[in-house]
Structure 1
């Protein structure tokens, strides 16, 4: 194998999720998280976006209508990570989840980012997060990133909304 390095401008364009009930997934992703429905593909697929992009998330029931979630201890997608532009945006998402009584599965301060973890209605993992500016990322003495998992100060996060 050669030492090929993927171009630095490469990015993940979208995720496409198998869901059991399209309307329930649209309620979660659009009504609760605030994504916009961009298009449907027949009665079994929808494409949603932040900011008018053709789609960040595809949802379909082509192979999964009425199906149950996969077992927790199996291979597959761990979570879809949704990056917010500002800490205040993450705080707004957290406030909406609290107001809706939607449960979190975890929270974390990773040094480089702050994150909320939850499951969508089909038990697909979802991470809502924002990145701290690169200049404040914790570094090892050799200059590599020193990520960690510490408790997230949720009260401090909500103070962003004051």
Structure 2
């Protein structure tokens, strides 16, 4: 990897939009994300479901009954991270998980409090809430410091308000990928797309725009080597704040000779592991 001296970084306001999963059992997964995660069904057909909060779509489930189980060597999703706006909402998420499912883990990351679980088809999920941004610890160079400490679940449970649904303001705070190479990941997402590295830990890297703790995480913990395949992550959205930002991204992609497909909504690209990324301007600014 060539260390980036790129000054063309993504602007404040860049964030992750919808995430899409390829699933075998649409009904089962729809019910899981509705009951356990607390999302509402916004649109549906015989082959897909869009779930979200209020009028904001967050997750698209695309049914393919013939899609094989993701190969053990296949890259793709580590987890989709649903960010809730308050500790009470995190407490409600914990109550739903304990009532309807099983908690897989919980951590205090210094910047956030997070719950972890896995859906019925093996897709990882994080539900978290951020600490106030001015409380995030930073290194001397200004990068955000992230750690993993035990989480006090009793205090999270005590904060619950008793809401069966995720509240308005819930979004996809970040997405975490399993990749084949961290060098290739940084070449693509940092040097070309314009994210900035915030934290690096053994076999993992966390990148963001606008000083957030991370919009995209990547790890090689399970030594995945093959392109994305089978069930699991189908695509995810990267939202930029305005047309100028989109144009700048497209220019960097073309300079790096990365194939770009232009659509009515923006750009479609594939990362080094074949993961599909849809880039578009924030609809609220159009």
In the superposition, the TM-score normalised over structure 1's length comes to: 0.88
Structure 2 counterparts to residues 48-59 of structure 1, below 5 A: 48-53=51-56, 55-59=57-61
Matched residue, 1:92? 92
Q: 1:143 to 1:35 in 2, by over 3 A?
A: same
Equivalences, count = 157
SS in 1 for 2:150: coil
* Shift of residue 70, structure 1, vs aligned partner: 1.6
* Shift of residue 87, structure 1, vs aligned partner: 0.8
SS in 1 for 2:149: coil
SS in 2 for 1:98: helix
SS in 2 for 1:13: strand
Contact 2:35 2:96 in 1 (8 A): no
SS in 2 for 1:57: strand
SS in 2 for 1:26: helix
* Shift of residue 5, structure 1, vs aligned partner: 0.9
1:71-126 per-residue CA deviation (whole Å, 9 max, x = no partner) reads: 455311111000000011001110111122x1122111000001011111111100
Q: 1:83 to 1:72 in 2, by over 3 A?
A: farther
Q: Distance in 1 between matches of 2:28 and 2:92?
A: 22
Matched residue, 2:33? 29
Matched residue, 2:14? 10
> Which structure features the higher share of strand residues?
2
Contact 2:17 2:58 in 1 (8 A): yes
SS in 1 for 2:77: coil
Q: Distance in 1 between matches of 2:137 and 2:51?
A: 34
Matched residue, 1:20? 24
Unaligned runs of 5+ in 2: 162-286
Contact 1:83 1:129 in 2 (8 A): yes
SS in 2 for 1:94: helix
Q: Distance in 2 between matches of 1:73 and 1:155?
A: 37
In the superposition, the TM-score normalised over structure 2's length comes to: 0.51
Q: Distance in 1 between matches of 2:49 and 2:149?
A: 36
Unaligned runs of 5+ in 1: none
